[in-house]
Amino acid sequence: MKRPEPVQVIKQRRDSALKNLVEGVPYIGFLGARFDRRGDELTAVLPYDDKLIGNPMLPALHGGAVAAFLEMTAIIELSWAAMWDQVEQGREMPPLRLPKTIDFTVDYLRSGLPRDAYARARINRSGRRYASVHVEGWQDNRSRLFAQASGRFLMPARDD
Residue 72 domain-assigned? yes
Burial (Cβ within 10 Å: 0-12, 13-18, ≥19) of residue 150:
middle
Residue 140 lies in domain: 7-154
Residue 84 domain-assigned? yes
- Domain with 102 in it: what CATH number? 3.10.129.10
**1-21 residue pLDDT tens:** 777 778 788 888 889 999 999
Residue 1 domain-assigned? no
**62-111 residue pLDDT tens:** 999 999 999 999 999 999 998 888 888 877 777 778 999 999 999 999 99
Count the domains in the chain. Answer: 1
**28-40 residue pLDDT tens:** 999 999 999 998 8
Residue 2 domain-assigned? no
Residue 43 domain-assigned? yes
Residue 160 domain-assigned? no
Whether the full predicted model's pTM is greater than 0.85, yes or no, is yes
